[in-house]
Structures are given as structure tokens and as C-alpha cells.
Chains A and B, each alone.
Chain A
Amino acid sequence: MINYLANPNRFLNFIKPIEFSIGVFSFLFIFIGLYLSLFNSPEDYQQGDTVRIMYIHVPFAWFASFLYLSISIASIFFLIWRHPFADIIARSAAPLGLIFSILTILTGSLWGKPMWGTWWVWDARLTSMLILCIFYFAYIGISNAFPRKIDGSKPAAILAIVGMVNLPIIKFSVDWWNTLHQPASIIRFDGPSINQEMLLPLVIMLLGFLFMSIFIILINIKTNLIYKKYQSEILKLGWLDV
């Protein structure tokens, strides 16, 4: 299956019929999720209405990390099996991940001021998230640093794999060290510590973010494939001095 879809043309044919419905799903889930989280979910016993920031903060944070994991796995495939399509996938996911990591920090900051009493602290969770954001910047920078884009793929892939060590640090920072940030509420040994009425909108938002990420990355993949074709044509004509 993976081998079959690794061919760009077959991949484009495969996604054509489902692409639109993925977009519709992402819109529906996020629409319903936002409605539930803003208007139809209870206030928290401690945080009151401020808890509603969670419904966007958590999806941003999860997908910022998850997209980075995808990029580094794709980079491993690229480095070892030299598959050009893995590189395209990694490049296509990076801008979205960067935006998610920035928005994680911004929404967290807006949440931190009313609850903690500060916009920012240098605790382990917040700092490791900032480092993830910097890794995204570095990945995008390096992968586009050469006139022939493909020359940046290998160094960028190595960087992506180096950054992978940051992912468990982000996840477990709240358990390993004293932090101002709260410990995990959802993925923990004794099950979620979020009331069901509040968990439901969050899960719907997470599904919406999943579809949205796939939808946007598919668009990016198509753009990058077209750009690659265009660059190879230009190279054939000798218009680019490299």
C-alpha cells in the first residue's frame, strides 16, 4: 500500500476523490467543536470560563508535536530509503506545524495571564515547546536554503531527526520536573482527568484538527509536486545557474 502510493501520480489519483470530503469533515468537526466548547460546555470549577481556551490550546499543542513526529519519521524514510516523496511529505507538513507551535505558545500565553498571573515563564514545558517552534523555523530555513531545493533536503532531514529528542521531553517535562504548567489531563495511566462533558468537545476539536491537518498538507504536497516538476523543467532548459 505504502509502496503503491509512494508514486506521486498514483498518489494524486488516489486523493482526488477523497480530498474534498476531508475538507468538509474538517470544517464540520471544527464548527461543531467550537460551538460545543464556546456555548455548550460547562464552566470549570476552578477556572470558570477561561477553561474554554483549552479547546483550542490542546489541539494546537498536540498537532504541533504530532506533525513534527511525522516530519521526522518521513525524514528517516528519506535518509535511509532515499525516497524523494518522503521528503515532499516532510516539507509539506512543516509550515503548518510551525503555525501550530506558534499558536500553542500564543493561546497558552493568553491562558496563563488570567490563571497563573503571567504571560510567560521559563519552565520546562513552555521552554521545550519554544524549542520545538525553533526547530520548525530551522527545518524550513535549511530545507529552502539552496537554489536547487533538493540540496537542502538531506541536511534538513538530519536536523528533523535531531529534533526528535525534544518530543518526549515536551510530553514528560511536566512529570520529570517541577513546572508551573499542569501535568497531563488526557493521556495518563489512570484515564483522563477531564469531566466527560468537557472531554467531548475537546475530542471533536482534535478530530477536526486531524482532518484539517491532512487537508492542508495534501494541498501543500500537490503544490510541492508541481514546483518540483517546474524546477526540473527549468534545469533541463538550463535557465537556472547551479
Chain B
Amino acid sequence: MKPKSQRLIILFFFLTLLGLSTFLVLKSLEDNIVYFYSPTDINKKILSNEIDLSKRIRIGGLVKENSILKEGKKISFKIHDGIDEILVIYNGILPDLFREEQGIVALGKIENKKFSAIEILAKHDENYMPKEVSDMLKKNGKWKGKLK
């Protein structure tokens, strides 16, 4: 065999092994790589006791309609993922994008089945359009986004 094709084969094996090992590492670390849990994930984990309640975690989902309650600086609202929901309590400054049906990520702990958050981040989606277009889509009933 020519040294050239030998090197090619070695490289091919090397890359396959590298890809495979990376895949396995990422797969086993999945729980750490995931930035937040959805309400469905978290309720399942609470039921099966898979979660350390004394540890801070992140949960993410959409702010449920008509669930925002403000009392001075204290705020409570529900986030949902279409299947399950969880009540969040927060005391602090909200990001500008915070509103009903907006995706958010909250950092905090679970206390008595409620999520008490110490930080709230807003998530924006992958749709970009001018305001006139989004208004028109909503008027024509062709709006596919979750935002109202």
C-alpha cells in the first residue's frame, strides 16, 4: 500500500473514533449540557425523586396567559410548555421581553412545588420580521408564533 493511502485510512479511523467518543461523551453529559428543564421534565423528575431539591436549577417555558400577578416588587406567574406547567415566584427586575407567551428561563430552587426564582432571562425565538408584518399576520389569522 502506498504511504498516502495508508495515511488516509489512519485518518479515517481516527476521525470515526473521535466522532464516536465525542458522541458518547455528549450523550452521557446530556443532563449537564441542557441549559434548562421544561415544566414537564421537572415535574417528572420531582415525582421520581431524580432531583436534588437543595440545588439551584434552571427551568424554561412560556409565560402562561392571565397568570401574571404583581404585588409591589413581588411577582408570580406560571410557565408552561404546552403539556405541563409550574408556578414561579420572583422578586426582582424582569427583562424587557417579559410578557405573556414569551419564552423565559428562570434560575432558582423548588420549594413546596413552587419555583422560587432568583434570576429571570428572556428567550427570543428564531423569527425576525418588521412590526407591520407581524400585525398583518395576526390580523389575517396566519400568525404561527406563540406570542400574542
The interface of chain A, by Cβ under 8 A from chain B, is 42-47, 51, 54, 76, 79-81, 114-118, 121-124, 161-162, 164-165, 169, 176-180, 182-185, 188, 193-195, 197-198
> Does B36 sit at the interface, judged by CB under 8 A?
yes
Chain B contacts to A: CB under 8 angstroms: 4, 7-8, 11, 14-15, 18-19, 22, 26, 30, 33-38, 60, 95-97, 105, 119-135, 147
Partner of B131, one of A45, A162, A177: A45
| CA A101 to CA B118, docked complex, whole Å | 31
A117 to B93, CA, bound (A): 10
**Are the C-beta atoms of A165 and B123 separated by less than 8 Å?**
no
Which one of B121, B127, B130 lies within 8 Å of A197 (CB-CB)? Answer: B130
**Cross-chain contact A80 with B122 (CB below 8 angstroms):** no
Q: Are B4's CB and A183's CB within 8 A?
A: no
Q: A123-B35, A180-B105 are in contact. Are A198 and B130 (CB under 8 A)?
A: yes
What would 30 A/B residue contacts be, using CB atoms closer than 8 Å? A42-B131, A42-B132, A44-B131, A45-B134, A46-B125, A54-B128, A81-B4, A114-B96, A115-B97, A115-B122, A116-B124, A117-B119, A117-B121, A117-B122, A118-B119, A162-B18, A165-B18, A165-B19, A177-B35, A178-B60, A180-B36, A180-B105, A182-B123, A182-B126, A183-B126, A188-B126, A193-B126, A193-B128, A194-B129, A198-B130
- Tell me, in angstroms, the Cα distance from A42 to B129 when the chains sit together: 8
**Which residues from chain B contact A184 at a C-beta distance below 8 Å?**
126
Chain A residues with CB under 8 A of B128: 44, 51, 54, 185, 193-195, 198
A144 to B89, CA, bound (A): 54
Total CB contacts across the A-B interface at under 8 A = 110
- B35 close to A121 (CB less than 8 A): yes
Beyond A42-B131, A45-B131, A115-B97, is A124–B124 a contact (Cβ under 8 Å)? no
Q: Please determine whether A117 and B7 come into contact, CB atoms closer than 8 angstroms.
A: no
Interchain CA distance A210-B127 in the complex, whole Å: 25
Which A residues lie within 8 Å of B147 (CB)? 46
Q: Which residues of B contact A54 (CB under 8 A)?
A: 128
B131 contacts A43, CB within 8 Å? yes
Residues of B within 8 A of A51 (CB): 128
The 10 A-B pairs of least Cβ separation, nearest first, read: A42-B130, A117-B95, A195-B129, A45-B134, A123-B35, A194-B128, A185-B126, A45-B131, A182-B126, A165-B22
* Known contacts A44-B129, A46-B97, A180-B105; A80/B8 CB under 8 A: yes
Chain B residues with Cβ below 8 Å from A161 are 11, 14-15
B82 to chain A, nearest CB (A): 14
How far in angstroms is the closest Cβ of chain A from B127?
Answer: 5
Distance from B75 Cβ to chain A, minimum over Cβ atoms (Å): 14
Cα-based distance from A118 to B106 in the complex (angstroms): 12
- Residues of B near A195 (CB, < 8 A) are 128-130, 133
Q: Residue B121 contacts which of A81, A116, A183, A198 (CB distance < 8 angstroms)?
A: A116
Task: Give chain A nearest CB distance to B52 CB in angstroms.
Answer: 19
Most buried by A among B38, B105, B147: B105
